[in-house]
Structures are given as structure tokens and as C-alpha cells.
A and B are shown apart, each in its own frame.
Chain A
Amino acid sequence: MTTPLVELRGVYRTFVKDRQTIPVLQDVNLSVQPNEILCLVGESGCGKTTTGKIIVGLLEASAGEVLIQGKPRSAYRRAEQAQLRRDYQIVHQDPFASLNPAHTIEQILSFPLLRHKLVKSRAELRRRIWELLTMVDLTPPGDIVNKYPHQLSGGQRQRVSIARTLTVQPRLIVADEAVSMVDVSIRIGILKMLHRLRDEFGMAIVFITHDLALAKYFAWRGRIGVMYLGRVVELGPTPHVIGQPAHPYTRALLQAVPEADPDVTRRKQPMRLRSDDIPRLTAIPPGCAFHPRCPFYVGRVCDVHVPHLDVAEGFAQQVACIPVQQGQLRPYIDEQAGG
């Protein structure tokens, strides 16, 4: 196996709020290989963005190890660390908030190119900006360069923020809800472009979303990690996680989500949870955090022992659920799924 671009080993992260320590991530183990697509899904507040920020080095882990190409960040020399910051980029949800409204698109793309001395002349600068805009399908570039962010549509703005991260030729991009705010009709275009950029430049993409169907589409040839209350509860190849979900929480999500097909969506039988209440991070239940809601809960096991992400008989993916790991919960195969 090649050295992962980044590896989180037993990562914890806490925040202090109102003098209370909130455990936002607990024992997260993940790695991202070069050129890989990894998708993180889960409900609001489960720690997806925090994980993404730790991956690109915008946040530090409170405990555990973060290895960048096999070594902790601190083991790199200062010049190397600067290069690492360029190699690991993040694209945020709201392109309007992240693009300076007072600058033209040309200026927005020039700054990183000039700051990092990535171009040698004005002619090269111009050529590179043209190239970047073409890469993100903003063509002809001549129509775009002199515009301000507010003169572009939401989808175009998101393409500009992606072009900006490409200025430094990153090896890994975290796309945090990067298409959540653009219209459904143009989302697919942006996702296809990200796929193409990955194929052409060999980047890895960590794609964060709360939309399972979108995750499935984008990461079909990659992996999905499902998060719940600060932990990764299931991780593996997308067709397996979607087609034969192992963790009861993943099953609950997949059975709950409506589908853009009247017959399929009306035939679904959503799982009845034991409770609809999502526990607060300040009062995470003991044992498996999902046990108070889980219909497959096993007394004196699930409420006592914390399950760890591990392989399970009959599944291609890793899962953090003791009954599944012990073979007490058979694979659920959705006959609708094409996996």
C-alpha cells in the first residue's frame, strides 16, 4: 500500500463552550490515499467539518495522531510545512462568503499565484488564470475575469472558489458541502468537473455532504464514511455501504431517505427507531452512542461497551457495532439497490 496522504489515528477533538468541554470527535481513524475519493456523511453536528479541518491542518487534534504522508506535521521543516499547507486545501459551502466582493475574479485568482511565486511573468500569470478558468468550465475566460463575485451565479462562484484552490496545485481537496448551496440542476456539472480534475491531476478528494444520494453518486468508485456523534460508525467501498449497509444507523438513514422515483420511494419501509431524540454532545450515551435509538440494541452489551471500527464477517466494510461484528445482525440487502 502507498503511504496515505493523511492518516488520523485515534483522533479526539474537544471544544470548550460555556466552561463545558464538548467532545466533538472521538477515536476517529481514517486515512486518505493519493487520488482517492472519500465521502463523509452524517447528520448536522456529527463532526464532518471538524474532521475535514483536521485533515487539511486548519485544526489540531486534541489527542491522537495525524500523520501527513507518514509523519506528524511537526516532523517537517518550516519550508516543508508551508508546502503542506498548499498541498491540502478546503473548499467551503458558501462561495459568496469566501470570495472577497471587492475583487475581480482575475484578482482573486492572481493573489495566491503571486504570493506563492507560482508564475514568473505577467504573461504567465494571465495564461495560468485562463487555464484555471477553463479547467473549471468557466468559458470563455474573457467573459469572467473582469467580473465581481456578485455578478456571477451561485454555481459560477463555486467554480471560482474551486479554481482558486487549484492555483496551488493541491494533492488533496476537502470539499465541504461544496454544492449544497447551488441548484440541483447544476450540481452534477460541478461534481463531474471535480471528477475530471481528480483524474487529470491525481488529487484526492474528501467530499463532505449530508445528502446520501449525492454521496453515492460522487463516491461510487471510492469510499464512504458514516459519522454519528463524533465517531465514524461505518467505513468502506461506496457500493457496499449503500447496497449492504452494516451499521443500524446507516440502515436507518438509507431506509429513511426519500428517492426521486415514486414507486421505489413508496415501497420503502423506514426503520422505526426506539427514540427520535438525538443526544447532545455533552451527554453522549455510554457504550454505543446510538444504543438508545437502535432497534437492534442488545442489553448489557451495547449500553456498556464502546464499539470500535473493525471488520465484520459477511461485510466488505468496517463497522463499529458489536452485534454486527459478532454476526448477530445479518446483512440487510435492499433488493432495490444495484450495488
Chain B
Amino acid sequence: MSEVILSVRNLSVSYLARRGRVRAVSNVSFELHAGETLAFIGESGCGKSTLNLALIRTLPKTGQIDSGTMIYTRRDGQQIDVLKLNKQEHRRWLWSECSMVFQGALNSLNPVIRISDMIYDTAAAHGIPREDARKQALDLLEKVRLDPQRVFNSYPHELSGGMRQRVLLAISLLLRPQIVIMDEPTTAVDILTQRSILDVLKELRRELNFSVLFISHDLAVAAEIADRIATMYAGEIVEIGPVEEIFYRPRHAYTLALLDAAPRLSAGAEELHSIPGSPPDLIMPPPGCKFHERCAFAVASCHTTPPPLRPTHDAACHLVACTESERVLAAQRKIMRQ
């Protein structure tokens, strides 16, 4: 596999709420390789957005990074801990090294500012001459299959939801970052619009070779776009590995449960199951494995001892935090054979 460009170690993030401290991300470690797409999946509230907001250090005021390191490797090979950058250094890091596309971000933008002005502002903040920025932008708008001249001079409200999302993707690539973070970029858009966003993303990725941290609660989108998948539950990564491993040989009871709740068009009549209960309170999380209360595979030790995230026997690139992973895998094989 290609070299690691981002290495996150033991990252914990919490929010201060009236009832106490919400442990939204606990002790998360993962690596991102050059050119790969890593997708985070998991139920609402499991910490996907918080993790990624922490990576770009734009948490809301009540949120704080409690611990961890985040080593980023620049193109020249120099390594920096993003959490140690001062404000100004960090601002420069954003956009030029790491940018983001959030769902509906253009909706919240100032409607009287043209796309061109957004592009000029971003470029100016990083000392890029106007003319260079314009050329770059027109080129990128073309790449995301938009009419460059028309879109460059338009206001956000003149564009459809799908067009806006593609404009955002183009702007995020303006300074050629190595990493793009995308939080639910296709949620709430129509099927054909989603298709064109996904196609454009895949094309750009092939051409420009950036890495993507992709957040989605939609397993189908993750299956299509990701090289690797990380399953999150209650603020932790409980399983991480290549997309085929996660979908065809899941080792965590929670990943299996998620897959077992996802309908497939190609599957004919299906027997699906939802996950009983609901995710735990992140202020007072349960002891042991946080999933044990909802888990069909739980044994006595799951109630008391949190299982560490460690490589599986037959695939070193596939990590899982589940003591019953062999039984989970066997159950998956049975489902597949049906």
C-alpha cells in the first residue's frame, strides 16, 4: 500500500453538555494512505462528524480535543502534528493540504456572493494570484461536468443542489490538497444527482490522486466509493479494513448487524433484521464492549472488559475490536450461503 499521509493516534474528543461530558470520540487511531478513500460508517451520533471536525480543528465551542496526535506528512516528506500548529499555520494547512465538503454547506453561504468571489477569496487567503485562481477554477468546474463560464459567474441560489455540491467539490480542490474530507456529500440528494456526484468524484480522484475521508451512513455509497471502511460505534472505531473484508468477511458483531439491516436491490426477496435497542449514552457509557447490550454474540467478558482493536488472524490489514469475531464471521458465512 502507498505511504501514510495522515496518522491519527489515540484521539479523544468531548463536548461539555449540561448533564456532563459527552465522550463523542474515544481513543481513535487510524491511518490514511496517499490516494485512498477511507469511509466511516455507523449509526447517527456515533461520532463520525465529530472525528472529522476535530481533524480540521473546527469543533463547536463546547467541544474539545482531550488527547491524541495527528501526524500529517507533507508532499516534501516533512511531518507535522496538526494539533500543534498555531492558528495561522493551521489556517494555511486548511485548503492547501486538507479541505472539506460538507452537506449543504453552500446553502448556508452568503447568497449575494458569486461563486467567482468565493474562489478569489480562498485564493487570496493563500497568496494565489487572481488570474491563476481563475484558470484553475474554470478547469476544475469543467472537470466536475459543469458549464465553467456560466457557473463561475453565478450566485449559489441559481444552481441546483447537485450543481452546488459539485461546485463545492471543485473549490475544495482549488489548492490541490492531499486530503479532502466529505461529510454526507450525497445525503438528501436525488438518485440521478447522487450518481453524477459520485461519478465526478471518482473521475477526479483518478486524475488528481488525492485521499478522501468519506462520512456516510449509507452503506451502499460507502461500498461503491471506499477503498477501506471504518465502522464506528459509540465514539470508537470497532472495525477497520479493506472494503471487501468489511462487506464480505466482517468480524465485528456491530458491522454484521449493520450489513444485515441494509436492503439490496439485487438480492430478490430478503430476510433483514434491525439492531435491537439504541446506542448508549455517551455521558455514562456502559463498561466492557459498548455494544454488548445490543449484541447477539455477547459473552460474559464483553460486559466487563473492553476488547482492544487488533489485527485478525488471516488479514493484518483488517483490525477488529470484538472477542467473538470468529463466531461473527461464521454467522456471516451462513447468511451468505442462503
Contacts and interface: CB of A to CB of B under 8 A. Distances in A.
B274 A260 contact: no
Given A259-B264, A262-B243, A43 B269 contact: no
Q: Chain B binding site: helix, strand, loop or mixed by DSSP? A: helix
Nearest to B266: A336
A44 B188 CA distance: 9
B223 interface: yes
Q: Is the interface of A mostly helix, strand, loop or mixed?
A: helix
A264 B223 CA distance: 9
Contacts of B272: 188, 217
Interface stretch (A22-30, A52-60, A179-187, A315-323): A179-187
Interface string B189-201: 0111111101100
B112 interface: no
Contact of A153 (B217, B225, B269, B278): B278
Contact size range, B: 35 or more
A118 interface: no
Given A44-B190, A216-B263, A257-B191, A184 B220 contact: no
B44 interface: yes
A183 B264 contact: no
Chain A's interface size range is 35 or more
B221 interface: yes
Given A43-B190, A44-B190, A260-B219, A188 B261 contact: yes
Interface string B264-296: 111111101111101000000000000000000
A43 B261 contact: no
Nearest to B226: A262
A252 interface: yes
A258 interface: yes
A265 interface: yes
Among B43, B263, B265, B273, the one with the most A-chain Cβ atoms within 10 Å of its Cβ is B265
Interface string A251-278: 0111011111111111000100100101
A210 interface: yes
Among A212, A257, A260, A265: residue with most chain B CB under 10 A: A260
Nearest to B267: A338
A159 B165 CA distance: 34
A252 B264 CA distance: 17
A224 to B, nearest CB: 12
A185 B265 contact: no
A212 B265 contact: yes
Interface string B96-134: 000000000000000000000000000000000000000
7 contacts: A183-B44, A257-B191, A258-B218, A258-B225, A260-B262, A260-B263, A265-B223
Interface of B: 43-44, 145, 160, 162, 190-196, 198-199, 217-221, 223-225, 243-244, 247-248, 257-259, 261-270, 272-276, 278
Given A186-B274, A242-B265, A265-B220, 18 more contacts: A183-B44, A184-B43, A187-B274, A188-B261, A190-B274, A192-B274, A210-B190, A220-B270, A256-B191, A257-B265, A258-B220, A258-B225, A260-B263, A262-B224, A265-B224, A276-B192, A276-B193, A334-B266
Interface of A: 43-44, 153, 155, 183-190, 192, 210, 212-214, 216-217, 220, 239, 242, 252-254, 256-266, 270, 273, 276, 278, 334, 336-339
